[in-house]
């Protein structure tokens, strides 16, 4: 067993654990199960229980596969410069997605009002962790703030990701605190506003930084 495969075993275990959990409760699940909840945490969508398998595949499995491939197919081979940080990022993302998938399965089994506060806390923590990793992501076409302006200049890439990292960390902290203070049905719209803001703001920032960088280049 080579060293590279040994490193992947914990990740593979995390990916498989929720399938084990699903297998143990499969026979106790009704044929029609809840698969969607509204902003109040109430069930508003139903589907065949086989839908759960697809939902589980869409979260951690795809995350694991994509992050396992990006370093190998990156045409500029910059992802490999991240070294162990890339593995850590993959581990964190797969772990968070697995926790979210397990929560979905648990909520489906109980068929009760889903606790959106828990989801907000998980996502807030994820934003904080990702924000912390932004500063080590090397220019690439797959992950990070990939705009025409960050991909054009390594300086713009670096400054944009330093800014976005701080923004995402603060946003994640606000989401966690907000979910603990406010009712989830009220905080839902605030959450969407925060997510929209941290997605759009770094894009605008990268454009402004690119213009500034271009002016210096032309002097």
Hey, is 160 helix, strand or coil? helix
At 68 the pLDDT is: 81
At 185 the pLDDT is: 76
Query: Dihedral angle at the C-alpha atoms of 159, 75, 66, 121, nearest 10 degrees?
Result: 0
At 42 the pLDDT is: 64
Which helix (DSSP H) or strand (DSSP E) does residue 155 occupy? helix 154-181
**Average pLDDT per block of 10 residues along the chain, 219 residues long:** 74 81 79 66 69 72 81 73 79 86 75 70 93 88 89 93 96 94 85 95 96 81
Spell 72-89 as b/e; 16+ CB within 10 A means b. Answer: eebeeebbebbeeebbeb
What are residue 212's phi and psi, to 5 degrees?
-65, -45
At 86 the pLDDT is: 80
In sequence order, what are the residues at sequence separation of 6 or more whose Cβ sits closer than 8 angstroms to the Cβ of residue 20?
none
The pTM of this model reads 0.80
Hey, is 31 helix, strand or coil? coil
Q: Residues 49, 32: contact at Cβ < 8 Å?
A: yes
Number of C-beta neighbours around residue 46 at 10 A:
13
At 34 the pLDDT is: 65
């Amino acid at each position: 067993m080579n060293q590279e495969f040994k490193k992947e075993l914990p990740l593979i275990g995390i990916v498989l654990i929720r399938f084990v959990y699903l297998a143990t409760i499969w026979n106790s699940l009704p044929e029609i199960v809840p698969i969607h909840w509204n902003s109040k945490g109430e069930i508003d969508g139903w589907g065949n229980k086989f839908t759960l398998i697809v939902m589980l595949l869409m979260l951690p499995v795809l995350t694991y596969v994509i992050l396992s491939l990006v370093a190998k197919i990156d045409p500029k081979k910059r992802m490999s410069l991240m070294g162990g940080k890339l593995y850590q990022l993959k581990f964190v993302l797969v772990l968070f997605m697995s926790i979210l998938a397990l929560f979905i399965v648990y909520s489906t089994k109980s068929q009760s009002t889903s606790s959106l506060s828990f989801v907000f806390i998980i996502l807030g923590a994820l934003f904080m962790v990702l924000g912390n990793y932004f500063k080590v992501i090397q220019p690439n076409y797959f992950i990070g703030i990939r705009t025409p302006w960050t991909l054009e200049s390594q300086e713009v890439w670096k400054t944009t990701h330093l800014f976005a990292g701080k923004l995402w960390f603060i946003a994640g902290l606000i989401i966690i605190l907000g979910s603990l203070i406010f009712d989830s049905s009220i905080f839902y719209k605030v959450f969407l506003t925060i997510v929209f803001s941290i997605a759009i703001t770094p894009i605008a920032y990268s454009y402004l930084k690119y213009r500034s960088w271009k002016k210096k280049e032309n002097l």
